[in-house]
Structure 1
Amino acid sequence: MATEKRERLLVEEWRDILAVHARTTCELDRELQAFGMCASDFEVLDILAEGREGDPACAFRVQELAARIHLSQSALSRLIGRLEKDGLVTRGMCSEDRRGVSVVITESGRSRHAEVLPVQRAVLARMLADRPQA
């Protein structure tokens, strides 16, 4: 009986996490639409703009982005294609592995990121404000 209750609580917690994620993503998509972006578009720009510690202008391999964005590689490739078409990122061959594709944020991408960042952070603050802390 105690095991069933723990499992039920675990499942309820999981479903709560999924619900918060879904509501937050929908709200982000709604707010970012005014900038011609969706939540995933901004997430890619955000990761690229942050760069790596000590190297904010670095390139990321598509595989690295896929692991952090939680999209399939094909979905991410389409997303990157849209961002590239809009002049926000550039793609190229990886210097260390010619089979890999690297992605770099452009100056236009940095400008768009800076413009949208306060909106995205405000949505996160609003949507996650009442969430219990772990």
Structure 2
Amino acid sequence: MYTNNEFLDNWLSLTNIQMSINNKLETALQENYSLSLKEFYVLYFLSQTNDKELRLLQLQEMVGLSQSAISRLVGRMEAKSCGALQRHVCEDDRRGIYTRMTELGEEKLNMALLTFNEIFQTAFMEDGLQPELQSLIEKFNSMDK
């Protein structure tokens, strides 16, 4: 067992890489599409379903927000100014509220995915994160032995 702070140091390095990429993504998505990273995740998770809809409770768990926070986020995305989502009540269980991605939401997601991929490619190729991540992976693998 390791008694020094090697695990913690490696974990903090990974966290810093993730935060750096998150910040770049948040900025680019906000500037180009008026989407927060959480809103982007909502659109992405909805796009992964057959009917492009999920219960708010499911989205809440997937995005990692409280019930009130996901409700506010979906409300903003449903508003006329955004129009990316549409809410409706479940016919079988009147307590269940679903949200569905609209055509406008799909268009926003498709454009935002291009930016998302560009940010990742830049981070790994130009910002030199790929060698840093590879080094961390090797360190974690060597700790197992």
Out of 79, 98, 107, the position equivalent to 2:94 is 98
| TM-aligned CA distance change 1:122 to 1:99, over 3 Å | same
Query: Identity over aligned residues, as a percent?
Result: 25
Q: Residue 49 of structure 1 aligns with which residue?
A: 47
| TM-aligned CA distance change 1:121 to 1:82, over 3 Å | same
Larger Rg: 2
Deviates more, 1:78-87 or 1:88-97: 88-97
Normalised TM-score (structure 1): 0.82
Q: Residue 65 of structure 2 aligns with which residue?
A: 71
- In the TM superposition, structure 1's runs of 4+ consecutive aligned residues that sit over 6 Å from their partners are none
Instruction: Give the AA of the match of 1:102.
Output: Y
- Confirm whether residue 23 of structure 1 aligns to residue 20 of structure 2: yes
Residue 79 (structure 1) shift:
1.1
Measured in 2, the distance between the counterparts of 1:124 and 1:68 equals 21
Measured in 2, the distance between the counterparts of 1:4 and 1:41 equals 41
1:80-134, Cα deviation, whole Å (9 max, x unpaired): 1111011100111123322121111001111111121110122133335512358
> Once superposed, what is the RMSD of the aligned Cα atoms?
1.9
Deviates more, 1:116-125 or 1:39-48: 116-125
> How many residue pairs get matched?
127
Instruction: Give the AA of the match of 1:117.
Output: L
Consecutive unaligned residues in structure 1, runs of 5 or more:
none
Consecutive unaligned residues in structure 2, runs of 5 or more:
none
Instruction: Give the AA of the match of 1:127.
Output: A
| TM-aligned CA distance change 1:21 to 1:97, over 3 Å | farther
Instruction: Give the AA of the match of 1:120.
Output: F
Out of 88, 103, 108, the position equivalent to 1:112 is 108
